[in-house]
Amino acid sequence: MRALRRLIAGFSLLACAVPAAAQELNLYSSRHYDSDRALYDAFTRETGIRVRLIEGDADQLIERIRNEGANSPADVFITVDAARLARAAGAGVLQPFRSQSVEQRVPAGLRDADGMWFAVSQRARVVMYDKEKGAPQGLARYEDLADPKFRGQICARSAAHPYNVSLAASILAADGPEKTEEWARGVVANMARPPQGGDRDQFRAIPAGQCGLAIANTYYLAGIGASERAEDKALFARIGVVFPNQAPGDRGAHVNISGAGLVKTAPNRDAAARFLEFLVTDKAQEMFALGNMEYPAVAEAPLHPALRSLGAFRGEPVEASRTNAHAAQALQIMQRAGWR
């Protein structure tokens, strides 16, 4: 009997000694950055909660969670693009998450009003130009990209990419379908070449003489500026940035976000809550800002010097549901205009 009691006591001690690392969090993410993995490792070191990462296309992950139903192992969903966050909420795969720390640190304009998601980082979609040739005259708004004075100058990636769909959706919301179609046709007429490649390919084409203006996201350019390679530093020094729609009363530069939400059927809700709150801590926000050259969601977080050197700007309010509601029509308009 004494031996049995010792055995039971031993099992009790073992149970108490199980490290917090035995806890697990299942993260479904469409972000594919080394800096994110470093962030997850930092969370595990701090909390003992292991992050099991499942990566994929955002829409495919949303559909996967829906198909898995009540048995889905997903705890947290992270994606790039506000429209896809709204799509996830609309698909019923997220549940409200209320957190004092999230609500105190993330501005209301970067959070869903119903608590379905919140931003963890931001990136601005801007117009880039060749500093050696000077800032483009008469280009202060996205709408100006359709002006015939810029004929044969614009480089842009495919219309179907979420970055361009969200930009066009914001123009559609602001200007209506007729003016948006005029804009899209004007941009296509002003293209220096058929849409191709990614954002980096657009501004790399400027010093190569293939185009004079490029539509691209800030974090791609800032990433070049953070490089130690001489050719990258030279490219960064040569590229200038226009933050459009900055005049008083105008809507501001188009901003898209990466955001996170709590999955409706999360089996590890406590671990998920700790992770979501970790994403807005000083440590995590600094890793987003310095590791991937993104604008943080928390205002006090530091910026990488390369990103700061691009200048300050006022961003357009993020309205994910509105962007998602206009996305399909915006893409149809661009494609009808010949933007492939």
- Bind-site residues: 32, 219-220
CA distance 111 to 102: 9
CA distance 275 to 120: 12
Binding residues for Fe cation: 32, 219-220
**Residue owning tokens 């070191």:** 45
Query: Is residue 156 within 8 Å of residue 125, measured between CB atoms?
Result: no
Grouping H, G, I as helix, E, B as strand and the rest as coil, residue 111 is: strand
Give which of 57, 49, 70 is closest to 29, Cα–Cα: 57
**In sequence order, what are the residues at sequence separation of 6 or more whose Cβ sits closer than 8 angstroms to the Cβ of residue 176?**
none
CA distance 322 to 310: 28
Encode 223-258 in three state secondary structure.
HHHCCCCHHHHHHHHHEEEECCCCCCCCCCECEEEE
Instruction: Determine the longest span between alpha carbons in the chain, in angstroms.
Output: 94
Token pair listed for 303: 């910026």
